[in-house]
Structure 1
């Protein structure tokens, strides 16, 4: 690796990378607000269309586990645009699907290859001076989170104004344009010689040799699970009494999370100054406080909106602190480290969504809020274990 390389000075490249992260992250969520429109278009049971969301989540998790680690052993300058090209193919398949299985195929392809963002982020960590790591990763995470938060709102808006397929066409075209631009601008980073099979052996070894990686992955997984409870309950809560909001307005409520996402770069700067432990605890405290707002949000919309903004900020703080720590562990294994961390992160998200549905059906909104607070407590427990291990290691 060229240690003099520092992409933090190239603002145009950073913006391209941030937009690419947002587009890739958002591409996997377009189907969520379009279930009803897709069901009417193909005239099939809504339960079948709902499987599209499951296919998107499962294929993305598989991409994290089996594709992202490859970033350590191939030329990322070519690999990232190639992943985005295949993601664009998947988006076009969704846009021109003539039946539901074709939509499912396109969704799976998008899920597998939209993990390009999770290869871009380790590349950025390798192509920047150590003291700028948090700032640059924070900027890219801002793009990723904004893209994720805007994706469902834009998909729903374009569907209402035009056609549900339009978001897929627009996204595919933008994906191809960004892939072309990135191929010309991404820096070349030295690759490490290793077979594909050895990648997974080395990942198991990483978890054994770097306990903080596993602990921080659990901190992130439980924190994301706490927020993911909202993904599976927001529609059923806000479209029923006393709120009775339309689908479009439910999407508008989530836009408050953009403000938390935009704070990521600033949080990254603070993390670069060595305050990751303090930031972690602040983030966990913010997450816990958010569930107090959500509890009252069962009756007052304003409280729910504040809670959504607060939980987005808390998750951003925790996630940025985690990444600042894990990417400093092993400079030669950033893609594999990111694969381990993000796989745990999204497994946590999937479990949180499932727990949200279970809590809602067995105890209503009060039980849902209690479940969210319990997940934050679990995240705090692993943060405490990480801090104890780190303090012990410093004394040795």
Structure 2
């Protein structure tokens, strides 16, 4: 029999038996979490079960979508979650601390070899730290809090081999978009994207996070990265980091293998109204821009803000453009401020939002585009109405491309900004 993929190994270890893709099992979870979008209903269902928490230290709640809250119902839901967390002794992240997935990574709540269940569709992001993290719904969240277990089918894995090196002005977001276009919105249904290859050694944890983040929008169950030196370095940031690096066997069986040459990728766009409608940014440079957004769980980290600031420095946003910047966490905001990035954004004419999901989903009713507006965003979804107006068009791009477009007033390739600085 052939060897195992990373996910087959992790799920087998948590189910207590040898498993392969397609097998059904009940597995023990190391971590369970949710946000104020699904936690209120999950908490009610959990309380209806009349069971105690399985292990309170393995449960976390983050308030990141409704920040700041825009109505009494949402505020009351947040209040109830505060009361539940205090009563049960679970980890609680308050509004303004940041985006749940970013906070879980910063605080090392998941680790190599772990199996997690998070009530957030982009839970796959945490595969960057060599763990298997699954997106779950309210019912699964409620039962997981009570039992510490999840029922699932072991997914097949797609091997994504990364080669080459990203060029100046080209980022992991561009690689992620290129991959979305290659696979298509239904091309990885209930499968895992297992990233590997020599190019990984040049990608930092934030870039890995971005690559893993977007796979849910092509139907994937999750994504995962191998355990390597970068993972070990991330683990060392925590004094009590548990975990064990997990890697695929050389003879592991995959349902598909994809090679992606990072050196051949240029700044990319996901055009309206589907994430797999991918084109080079240079092909859309005639398209005017009305709203530019940097942030979200995909690209709100410090390295993303640095890339945007490198473009915006000494410039000013086009008068026809509104620009919103939302750091992924309070830590990111503080570090960006210490580096002078926030000063660059404000002087350029951007508005800096509280650390949270921000305008990504329109839940906050902040940054809703006008009729016929074109939006360029570093977030992960661009279907109609995603930002609260079905008549607007959303383009997805890297923070550097978003920044270049905000300066010019139309979609722009950011590479000239980096080439000028290299030649200076």
Q: Same fold (TM over 0.5)?
A: no
Determine which structure has the larger helix proportion and give its number.
1
Q: Which has the higher contact order (CA 8 A, sep 6+)?
A: 1
Higher strand share: 2
